[in-house]
Amino acid sequence: QVHLVQSGGEVKKPGASVKVSCKASGYTFTNYGVNWVRQAPGQGLEWMGWISAYNGNTKYAQRLQGRVTMTTDTSTSTAYMELRSLRSDDTAVYYCTRGGLGTVTHSDYWGLGTLVTVSS
């Protein structure tokens, strides 16, 4: 079955960077894409962006453009999301999800989430 195993929680200071990993198993990694979604404490869901695991094409939410980079390592079936210049309002649970191959689509499988806390 499909599993997305995410890296552990992080505590960062404002201005720092964080890189979250997501190791996929149970399916052919390069046949799908990866969406990243975050959820601030007690809040709703926010789509951050998508990467194709086939060719590395990306699409980012405009409000994060310039601060976020999504990459994949097909040799280990792992996706990464790096967020830079962290602010307190970046405190959230970050989810990786399985998405579409050639275009952005819905998320049919989700990781358990990685809590990133930004605090001085």
Partner 1 sequence: EIVLTQSPGTLSLSPGERATLSCRASQSVSSNFLAWYQQKPGQAPRLLIYGASNRATGIPDRFSGSGSATDFTLTISRLEPEDFVVYYCQQYGSSPLTFGGGTKVEIK
Return the number of the residue (52 or 107) whose C-beta is nearest partner 1: 107
Over the window 42 to 81, marking each residue x when it contacts partner 1 by CB under 8 A and - when it does not, the resulting string is --xxxx--x--------x-xx-------------------
The reply to whether 101 sits near partner 1 by the rule CB under 8 A is no
- Closer residue to partner 1 in complex, CB, 91/105: 105
Q: Does 107 bind partner 1 (CB under 8 A)?
A: yes
For residue 15, CA distances in Å to 5, 21, 48, 104 come to: 27, 20, 19, 29
Q: What's the Cα-to-Cα distance from 76 to each of 53, 54, 79, rounded to whole Å?
A: 11, 13, 9
Residue 29 backbone phi and psi in degrees, to 5? -55, -40
Closest C-alpha to 97, from 116, 118, 114: 114
Asked whether position 105 contacts partner 1 by CB under 8 A, the answer is: yes
- Residues making contact with partner 1 (CB under 8 A): 35, 37, 44-47, 50, 59, 61-62, 95, 104-113
